[in-house]
Amino acid sequence: MKRSELLSRLIVAVAVIGVVGAPLYLWSRTPIIHARMAENGGWSPDVLQAEVGKPLHLKITSDDVVHGFAVGQMDMQSVDILPGKVAGITLTFDKPGIYTFFCTRWCGLNHWRMRGTIEVTGASDTIPSD
Amino acid sequence: MELTHIPFIKNALKNRYPQLAVFIVMLVGYIFAILAGLIGTPVGSHNFSIVFVWIAWWAILILIAVPFFGRGWCAVCPIPLPGEWLQRGAILSPPDKRPKWLNLRVPKMFRNIWLQNISFLLLALFSSVLLTTPNITGIVLAAMLFAAIGLSTVFERRAFCRYLCPVGGFIGLYSQTAPIELRIKDKQVCVNCEGKPCYNGSSAGYGCPWDVFPGGLTKNTYCGLCMECIRTCPHDNIAVNLRPFSADLAKPTTRMDEAFKAFIMLGSAIIYAGVLLGPWGMLKDAAYNVGSGAWFIYAAVFLAIIFIVLPGLFTLGILNTKNTLPLKHRFASLSTALIPLGLVFWVAFSLSFVLTNASYILAALSDPLGLGWNLFGTANIAWQPMLTSILAPAQTLALVGGLIWSARTAQKAASETHTSPIPVIIYCFILTAVMLWLLL
């Protein structure tokens, strides 16, 4: 086989492996919470884990209509989750327990059912004092 | 004007490396579009696959590539490449030993564009879902790639491009209007040429992948501009020329598959303008809800308009023309006038949704997989229709211009078949009025 042919095959192979492998790798390494109307599945995943005192970074996107995100038992502003856009939210919990997050936008008939939970573990005193 | 007289152009076309570089970029883009469709956001307006294929690529194809470069897209299309490389056993020049694939000739009954007509119609019937659902777009793009690979291992040359590709059929039809052509310089040279390497291949290159003997080329329809014959011709007898627009239409077709292609494209543009751009929600619902009763009615009406209403009215129009030529022959020849009209219908229709949705391109470019990236700082650009003030005038200008263009073509076709062009011109006028009403 000629060197030019071999080189061309190599370039094509690297390009194809790269364009398949790189996006798949990045996609698999970026956990995203998907919001859908409750009748289409609601939050996915709908159970999250966190530790007291450790910031929980969430990336949330909507797969259909505008949703909102808020956590009960926390003093936070609701965040709008727009279709196709990714919203970044960071939460820090100071007490262990099970927190409920829910949709704050009237997104569909079963809007009120669109809920999920964050299971926060660890001791309250792990929070560094000011 | 012969473009291949210019040494830079000729060398760039003969050399395989510039083409290979473009091929690799295209193939990478195509595979990425498949992946983005399958793993990206399911929101169509933000998915790279939907935005780049159905807005960016379509705009380039129908507004620039087809009108000005004919089959220019086919020259760089990545779909046949993996199959062709497998079939040839090489990426560059012909190898010493070719792989032993079946290499069958496509059966004679399929050596026309009926399969392309059917494949286009299949996509057209599902278009509302296809154009808005990323994973369906991803699956269709992947299916085309694998179909091309499969056919390359069974049949000789580019069977997929020539006989099955849903896009290639209408590009071929409209490429006749383009101001560019690949032709031989001297017919006698081809007559005397031994071995016909442009068709059969040689050590310098492959036989025509499009199953065309360049010596017999009289129109653009089936020449994919792959430039293989420029490489194989031992007599330097192949040229790429600039020419007046629609030069090929002076020689009207006599083939029914090509005639019906013109009706399919014309009818689809009108129906799309009504369904996708019109104010009728019920129609949109029917087109979108594939498998429902309303969709079956929509599909039946779609097919009836294309195969019965439009050709039927056209036939009624030319029926009374006193002529000794068979009606079938006149039908096919006079349908040539619908080619420029169909092209401008698609241009006018495409302007609407391309200008309306073009702002999505920048957002999708910055976050192509929907992972929250902002690669170029454009991920959060808000949707904004572009150039809306010139949209209606541009569409009107295109449609009226197309009507005049079709009328001129009808005159030429009518003189070839010794009939009156008036019924065809009236037919084109009515359809243009309908399209204007739908778009404006």
Torsional class of A73: left (φ above 0), alpha (ψ -120 to 50), beta (otherwise): left
Smallest Cβ distance to B370: which of A9, A86, A88? A86
Count the neighbouring beta carbons within 10 Å of the beta carbon of residue B361: 17
Smallest Cβ distance to A30: which of B27, B95, B371? B371
- What's the rounded Cα separation, in Å, for the pair B2 and B239? 6
Whether the pLDDT of residue A130 is over 50: the answer is no
Backbone angles phi, psi at A48, to 5 degrees: -120, 155
The answer to the question of residue B192 being in a domain is: no
Which residues of chain B make contact with A83, given a CB cutoff of 8 A?
A: 43, 45-46
- Taking only the tens place, the pLDDT of each residue in B131-142 is 999 999 999 999
What mean pLDDT is reported for chain B?
94
Same domain, residue pair B49 and B161: yes
Instruction: Give the gap in angstroms from C-alpha A39 to the nearest C-alpha of chain B.
Output: 16
Please give the span between the terminal C-alpha atoms of chain B, in angstroms, as a whole number. Answer: 39
Count the neighbouring beta carbons within 10 Å of the beta carbon of residue B107: 9
The answer to whether the CB of A118 falls within 8 A of the CB of A50 is yes
pLDDT at A129: 46
Same domain, residue pair B145 and B283: no
Residue in chain B closest to A65 (alpha carbons) equals: B43
Which residues of chain A make contact with B379, given a CB cutoff of 8 A?
A: 85
A8 to B20: CB separation less than 8 angstroms, yes or no: yes
- Taking only the tens place, the pLDDT of each residue in B3-34 is 999 999 999 999 999 999 999 999 999 999 99
What mean pLDDT is reported for chain A?
92
ipTM of model: 0.89
Interface check A80 vs B, CB under 8 A:
no
Smallest Cβ distance to A5: which of B41, B46, B90? B90
Same domain, residue pair B164 and B256: no
Count the neighbouring beta carbons within 10 Å of the beta carbon of residue B306: 22
Count the neighbouring beta carbons within 10 Å of the beta carbon of residue B281: 8
Whether the pLDDT of residue B71 is over 60: the answer is yes
* Percent of chain A residues topping a pLDDT of 90: 86
Q: Which residues of B touch A (CB under 8 A)?
A: 20, 24, 27-28, 31-32, 35-36, 39, 41-43, 45-47, 85, 90-93, 95, 367, 369-372, 379-380
Average pLDDT over residues B223-233: 96
Distances (CA, A) of B216 to B187, B233, B291: 8, 14, 46
Three-state DSSP state, A61: strand
The H or E element spanning position A47 is strand A47-51
Sign of torsion over alpha carbons B18, B23, B26, B28 = negative
Whether the pLDDT of residue B382 is over 70: the answer is yes
Contacts of B95 (CB under 8 A, 6+ apart): A1, A5, B88, B89
- Please give the CATH topology (third level) of the domain spanning A33-126: Immunoglobulin-like (2.60.40)
Backbone angles phi, psi at B18, to 5 degrees: -60, -40
pLDDT at B212: 96
Instruction: Give the gap in angstroms from C-alpha A120 to the nearest C-alpha of chain B.
Output: 25
Average pLDDT over residues B261-284: 95
Which residues of chain B make contact with A61, given a CB cutoff of 8 A?
A: 41, 370, 372
Domain boundary among B140, B175, B210: B175
Which residues of chain B make contact with A30, given a CB cutoff of 8 A?
A: 371-372
pLDDT at A123: 83
Best residue of A2, A6, A11, A12 to probe chain B, by most B CBs closer than 10 Å:
A12
pLDDT at A127: 52
Whether the pLDDT of residue A99 is over 60: the answer is yes
- What's the rounded Cα separation, in Å, for the pair B20 and A12? 9
Average pLDDT over residues B145-159: 97
DSSP β-bridge partners for residue A119: A49, A98
Average pLDDT over residues B250-273: 94
The answer to whether the CB of B418 falls within 8 A of the CB of B321 is no
Torsional class of A105: left (φ above 0), alpha (ψ -120 to 50), beta (otherwise): beta
Which is more confidently placed, B417 or A92?
A92
Which residues of chain A make contact with B90, given a CB cutoff of 8 A?
A: 5
The amino acid at residue B104 is L
Whether the pLDDT of residue A126 is over 60: the answer is no
Polymer length in residues for chain B: 440
pLDDT at B321: 61
* Percent of chain B residues topping a pLDDT of 70: 99
Of B67, B66, B76, B71, nearest to B29 by C-alpha is: B76
Number of domains in chain B: 2
pLDDT at B406: 97
Instruction: Give the gap in angstroms from C-alpha A26 to the nearest C-alpha of chain B.
Output: 9
The answer to the question of residue B197 being in a domain is: no
Smallest Cβ distance to B31: which of A2, A19, A85? A19
Instruction: Give the gap in angstroms from C-alpha B283 to the nearest C-alpha of chain A.
Output: 22
Whether the pLDDT of residue A128 is over 80: the answer is no
pTM: 0.93
- What's the rounded Cα separation, in Å, for the pair A53 and A72? 17
Instruction: Give the gap in angstroms from C-alpha A99 to the nearest C-alpha of chain B.
Output: 25
Same domain, residue pair B153 and B288: no
Which residues of chain B make contact with A11, given a CB cutoff of 8 A?
A: 24
Q: Range with the lowest mean pLDDT among A26-30, B35-39, B175-179?
A: A26-30
B39 to A1: CB separation less than 8 angstroms, yes or no: no
pLDDT interval class at A15 (50, 70, 90):
very high
Strands A115-121 and B180-184: unpaired
The answer to the question of residue B281 being in a domain is: yes
Please give the span between the terminal C-alpha atoms of chain A, in angstroms, as a whole number. Answer: 70
Average pLDDT over residues B296-321: 93
Burial class for B235, CB neighbours closer than 10 Å (0-12, 13-18, 19+): middle
pLDDT at B185: 95
Three-state DSSP state, B115: helix
Tokens representing A28 are: 């698999």
Write down the domain spans for chain A: 1-30, 33-126
pLDDT interval class at B57 (50, 70, 90):
very high
- What's the rounded Cα separation, in Å, for the pair B314 and B210? 32
Average pLDDT over residues B126-150: 97
The answer to the question of residue B237 being in a domain is: no
Which residues of chain B make contact with A27, given a CB cutoff of 8 A?
A: 39, 369, 371
Residue in chain A closest to B17 (alpha carbons) equals: A8
Of B145, B143, B167, nearest to B224 by C-alpha is: B167
The answer to whether the CB of B141 falls within 8 A of the CB of B30 is yes
Range of the domain at B429: 252-439
